Amino acid sequence: MSKEGPIRLAVFASGSGSNFEALVEAVRKQTVDAEVALLVCDKPDAFALTRAKRLAVPSVSFYPKQFPSKGSFEKEVLDHLEEAGVDLIVLAGYMRIIGSTLLEAFDNRIINIHPSLLPFYPGKQGIQDAFDAGAIETGVTVHLVDEGIDTGEILAQEKVAIDPDDTIESLEEKIHAVEHVLYPEVIQTYIKKLQKEYA
């Protein structure tokens, strides 16, 4: 495989998009050697889309339920990814399980960030679940995406202490602060690996 020009990223988000924005900033500061080619959103009222507009990043949004099947939804997404020349998919708060259409097209080229120290507290509420369990420590995991829920190969983890006076809000803030630094770093490392493969 060979490739000209920088690696092109698509970020998938369903919500606020703070990790999307942190990544765009890292690209603009040139700490991540890539282009953010596209934001893909499965919630047309998500704040991530407002950020994309402000940051002048192209975006597409969908109502997945309007498609007859997961496969047909993902095929439509795939067409947009191909049109945008995307090399690597970065999930950032994307609340949907990736199906076989995208997994096969982007084998080992889909990365996710999860707000816990996997394998602990997988699923939709990683921060809340660690907090409710009374854990004294949680963290952030960046991993490759496979067909499971938060089960792919772990690329990096960072611990976050849960202090006795933490509230769910203060814990969320600490986790997001770690995410916004860790995710761009790990993406940059992974890009270097992909570039070697392309060379």
- Annotated binding site: which residue ranges? 17-19, 70, 95-98, 112
18 binds ligand GRF (CB under 6 A): yes
Site for ligand GRF in 85-144 (CB under 6 A): 92-93, 113-115
**Catalytic residue check, 80:** no
Residue 15 or 64 having the CB closest to ligand GRF? 15
Q: Please count the CA atoms within 13 angstroms of the CA of 22 that sit on its side-chain side.
A: 22
Of these, 3, 6, 8, 15, which contacts ligand GRF (CB under 6 A)? 15
Of 80, 114, 143, 176, the catalytic one is 114
d(CA 141, CA 161): 14
- Which residues, in sequence order, are bridge partners of residue 59? 39
d(CA 8, CA 89): 9
Q: Which residue is nearest to ligand GRF (CB)?
A: 93
9 binds ligand GRF (CB under 6 A): no
Residue 172 or 195 having the CB closest to ligand GRF? 172
Residue 68 or 137 having the CB closest to ligand GRF? 137
13 binds ligand GRF (CB under 6 A): yes
What single-letter amino acid sits at 153?
A: E
- Residue-wise DSSP of 92-142: SS--S---HHHHHHTTT-EEEEESS-TTSS-STTHHHHHHHTT-SEEEEEE
Judged on CB neighbours under 10 Å (0-12, 13-18, 19+), 82 is: exposed
Residue in the block written with tokens 């945008």: 84
19 binds ligand GRF (CB under 6 A): yes
Show Cβ contacts of residue 9 under 8 Å, excluding neighbours closer than 6 positions: 23, 27, 34, 35, 36, 37, 38, 86, 87, 88, 89, 90, 187
Q: How many residues bind ligand GRF (CB under 6 A)?
A: 13
**Rounded to the nearest whole angstrom, what is the least distance from the CB of residue 19 to ligand GRF in the complex?**
3
Site for ligand GRF in 160-199 (CB under 6 A): 179
Residues in contact with ligand GRF by CB under 6 A are 13, 15-20, 92-93, 113-115, 179
Q: Which residues are catalytic?
A: 114
